[in-house]
Amino acid sequence: MFQGVFTALITPFTKDEKVDEKALRKLVDFQIDGGVDGLVPVGTTGESPTLSPEETEQVIGLVIEQTAGRVPVIAGTGSNCTDKAIHMTERAKKLRVSIGNPHWLLPLLPLGVLSFVFVNHCQY
pLDDT tens readout for residues 74-110: 887 777 777 777 777 777 777 666 565 555 554 544 4
Per DSSP, 45 falls in state G
pLDDT value of position 70: 95
In the chain, the domains with their CATH numbers are 6-122 (3.20.20.70)
pLDDT value of position 85: 73
Residue 6 backbone dihedrals phi, psi, to 5 degrees: -120, 120
- Lowest-confidence range among 8-12, 52-56, 87-91, 116-120? 116-120
Average pLDDT over residues 35-48: 83
pLDDT value of position 124: 44
- Is residue 32 over pLDDT 70? yes
Measured CA to CA in angstroms, residue 50 lies from 35, 55, 80, 117 at distances of: 29, 9, 11, 21
- Strands (E) located in the chain: 6-8, 38-40, 74-76, 99-101
Give the CA radius of gyration of the chain: 14
| Among 53, 49, 38, CA closest to 5 | 38
pLDDT tens readout for residues 43-71: 776 677 788 888 988 998 999 999 999 99
Whether 117 and 92 have beta carbons less than 8 Å apart is answered as no
pTM over 0.85: no
Measured in residues, the chain has a length of 124
